[in-house]
């Protein structure tokens, strides 16, 4: 019955989508024309995403199954291993152990149908209406600062507010150690992007910042950078399971502790693992592979910036701002109960449950609050709708690869070289722990392309032989991962334009991937009688990286 009720409002909804005259001045006439153009659905055939949200009709109860899970593998092309893993290490708090999903579709009946309809849209005609100059002007605008000001001035807003001065322009926002210049406590770090959705060549640039609670930044209720850097390093050791780590130069005198265990109080650049944090957090114990309570992450997903020389950078305009806060520390035992509860729900064939918190976002039931903001049709950031937020639980809840339900920090360049804003030029293609070949080289070999769907033609032409095999010699010759995972100027502009058409449609419920043409290597309907991958093409993998396998060529 819910679909019948939506048809009755379809034409009015299309009118609303296409005829909004209250557009901000930043949208030029050409982009307005595109916004008002007919979207790629036919009246009476497809219901626009906006209609589902306006009428609180659930479009996809299985939105936690991401688009990548519908990849057509042909039994041999495996992107699945990057998320679905099982480990013999019983000390790991992540007890999901889902490597079996590399060989089985454990979807509900509803989940067998691929609801990510935007994967099957050819946007080549739509993007012709947008000029290169128009899209360049668009992505170079700062939509974060006005968004923060809007939240600050909204007395009814009850969610978090996360200002970082000049965040649109990272060279202004952060110092060389990644510490925000505005005193907000946010710290940017350099990390290797997760394969391959987060590679710029596949649609977006991005960054991640971490912030620890006041007690981890202070000594005697006073901000102390040495204390903060020490505690950040201790968090890194805890999450990665390290016994010692390099660090920026730290004064043990200002910290009030012997940090390297040599029995002296001096300036040090190496820290050994200890039982407790330092400063005003000295009573809080380190927990194996877990963040302390009140840890926050801020992740911006951005358009692809292209400078006059064709170099790729993180554009000022943000597609999304994503936020996580560890509102409740859960022990390994408590997390075990949470994993069991999830498994029990699935065994009863219930759809995934999402706990909504109003302006605060959602609770993933593993101790984290998750919130997200996305562009409205005019390009201004807005809170995501409940159905849009449910998508976040697909990655930040129960998959086997994560560390405390997160990705990026476990992939931070280890130690002192990793403190600073993300810079792909500074990172080599180091292997994962327990492996020998470069991570991205290995991924491309196993997937058979430069993205999960094997449709990035530029990556296929650049790095693969005519017979479809990876040119390993060419990949091994790269100096840094920037050379490997950034697009040409032409592709960058096209991807930006393609995503902008999704913005104008507000069709995020149907998928956020900036695809240029209809996906061919994606299943529209899953046949559960066939295994995704043959046993010999399933892999054991740890998303942590072996940074000591090669010498970093950039030093600070």
Reported as a single tens digit per residue, the pLDDT across 95-137 is: 999 999 999 999 999 999 999 999 999 999 999 999 999 999 9
Look up residue 385 and give its DSSP letter. P
Helices (H), 107-169: 124-127, 132-139, 144-152
Give the pLDDT score at 46. 76
E strands, 262-347, in order: 267-272, 296-306, 312-326
pLDDT tens digits, 419-450: 999 999 999 999 999 999 999 999 999 999 99
CA 253-256-262 angle, to 5 degrees, is: 75
Residues 6+ positions from 23 with CB-CB distance below 8 Å: 32, 35, 377, 378
**Torsion angle, CA of 308/313/316/321, rounded to 10 degrees?**
160
E strands, 360-442, in order: 362-363, 368-375, 381-383
Rounded to whole angstroms, the Cα distance separating 270 from 222 reads 24
Q: What is the pLDDT of the chain when averaged over all its residues?
A: 91
pLDDT tens digits, 76-91: 999 999 999 999 999 9
Residue 45 pLDDT class (50, 70, 90 cuts): low
Give the pLDDT score at 555. 38
Structure-token match 């593998």, residue found:
73
Q: Say if residues 40 and 491 touch (Cβ distance below 8 Å).
A: no
Does the pLDDT of residue 33 top 90, yes or no?
no
Q: Which residue has the higher pLDDT, 401 or 6?
A: 401
Mean per-residue pLDDT, 394-405 = 93
Residue 8 pLDDT class (50, 70, 90 cuts): very low
Does the pLDDT of residue 14 top 80, yes or no?
no
Whole-model pTM: value is 0.91
Residue 233 pLDDT class (50, 70, 90 cuts): very high
Does the pLDDT of residue 19 top 90, yes or no?
no
Least confident interval from 37-46, 100-109, 381-390, 507-516: 37-46
Rounded to whole angstroms, the Cα distance separating 487 from 200 reads 7
pLDDT tens digits, 291-326: 999 999 999 999 999 999 999 999 999 999 999 999
Give the pLDDT score at 343. 86
Give the pLDDT score at 345. 79
Q: Which residue has the higher pLDDT, 205 or 15?
A: 205
Rounded to whole angstroms, the Cα distance separating 273 from 286 reads 9
Closest CA to 297 of 169, 395, 155: 395
Give the pLDDT score at 39. 53
pLDDT tens digits, 176-231: 999 999 999 999 999 999 999 999 999 999 999 999 999 999 999 999 999 999 99
Rounded to whole angstroms, the Cα distance separating 158 from 151 reads 9
Collapsing DSSP states into helix, strand and coil, what is residue 451?
Answer: coil
Closest CA to 37 of 541, 497, 521: 497
Partner residues linked to 381 by β-bridges: 375
Q: Say if residues 303 and 317 touch (Cβ distance below 8 Å).
A: yes
pLDDT tens digits, 355-376: 999 999 999 999 999 999 999 9
Mean per-residue pLDDT, 273-279 = 98
* pLDDT more than 70, % of the chain: 90
């Amino acid at each position: 019955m819910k679909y019948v009720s939506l048809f009755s409002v379809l034409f009015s909804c299309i009118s609303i989508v296409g005829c909004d005259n209250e557009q901000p001045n930043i949208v030029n006439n050409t982009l307005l024309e595109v916004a008002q153009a007919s979207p790629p659905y036919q009246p009476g055939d497809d219901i626009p995403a906006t209609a589902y949200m306006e009428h609180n009709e659930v479009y996809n109860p299985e939105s936690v199954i991401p688009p990548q899970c519908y990849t057509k593998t042909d039994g041999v092309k495996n992107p699945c291993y990057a998320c679905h893993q099982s480990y013999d290490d019983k000390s790991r708090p992540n007890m999901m152990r889902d490597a079996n999903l590399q060989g089985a579709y454990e979807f509900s009946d509803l989940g067998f149908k691929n609801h990510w309809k935007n994967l099957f849209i050819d946007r080549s005609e739509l993007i012709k209406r947008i000029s290169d100059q128009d899209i360049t002007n668009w992505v170079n605008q700062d939509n974060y600062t006005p968004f923060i000001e809007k939240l600050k001035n909204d007395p009814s807003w009850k969610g978090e507010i996360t200002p970082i001065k000049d965040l649109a322009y990272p060279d202004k926002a952060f110092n060389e150690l990644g510490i925000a210049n505005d005193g907000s406590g946010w710290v940017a770090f350099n990390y290797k992007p997760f394969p391959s959705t987060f590679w710029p060549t596949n649609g977006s640039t991005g960054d991640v910042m971490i912030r620890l609670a006041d007690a981890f930044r202070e000594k005697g209720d006073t901000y102390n950078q040495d204390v903060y850097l020490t505690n950040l390093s201790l968090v890194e050791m805890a999450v990665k399971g390290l016994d010692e780590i390099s660090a920026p130069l730290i004064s043990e005198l200002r910290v009030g502790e012997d940090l390297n265990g040599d029995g002296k109080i001096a300036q040090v650049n190496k820290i050994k693992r200890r039982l407790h944090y330092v400063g005003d957090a000295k009573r809080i114990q380190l927990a194996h592979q877990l963040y302390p309570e009140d840890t926050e992450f801020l992740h911006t997903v951005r358009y692809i910036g292209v400078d006059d020389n064709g170099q790729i950078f993180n554009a000022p305009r943000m597609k999304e701002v994503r936020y996580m806060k560890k509102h409740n520390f859960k022990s390994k035992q408590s997390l075990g109960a949470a994993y069991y509860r999830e498994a029990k729900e699935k065994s009863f064939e219930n759809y995934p449950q999402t706990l909504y918190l109003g302006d605060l976002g959602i609770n993933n039931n593993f101790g984290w609050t998750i919130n997200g903001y996305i562009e409205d049709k005019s390009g201004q950031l807005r809170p995501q709708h409940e159905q849009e937020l449910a998508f976040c639980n697909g990655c930040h809840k129960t998959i086997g690869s994560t560390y405390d339900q997160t990705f990026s920090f476990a992939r931070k360049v280890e130690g002192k070289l990793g403190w600073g804003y993300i810079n792909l030029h500074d990172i080599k293609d180091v292997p994962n722990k327990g492996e020998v070949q470069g991570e991205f080289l290995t991924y491309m070999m196993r997937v058979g392309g430069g993205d999960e769907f094997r449709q990035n033609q530029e990556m296929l032409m650049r790095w693969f032989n005519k017979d479809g095999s990876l040119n390993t010699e060419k990949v091994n010759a790269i100096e840094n991962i920037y050379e490997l995972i950034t697009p040409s100027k032409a592709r960058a502009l096209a991807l930006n334009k393609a995503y902008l058409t999704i913005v104008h449609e507000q069709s995020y419920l149907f998928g956020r991937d900036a695809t240029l043409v209809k996906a061919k290597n994606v299943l529209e309907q899953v046949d559960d009688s066939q295994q995704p991958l043959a046993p010999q093409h399933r892999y054991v993998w740890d998303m942590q990286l072996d940074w000591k396998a090669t010498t970093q060529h950039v030093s600070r």
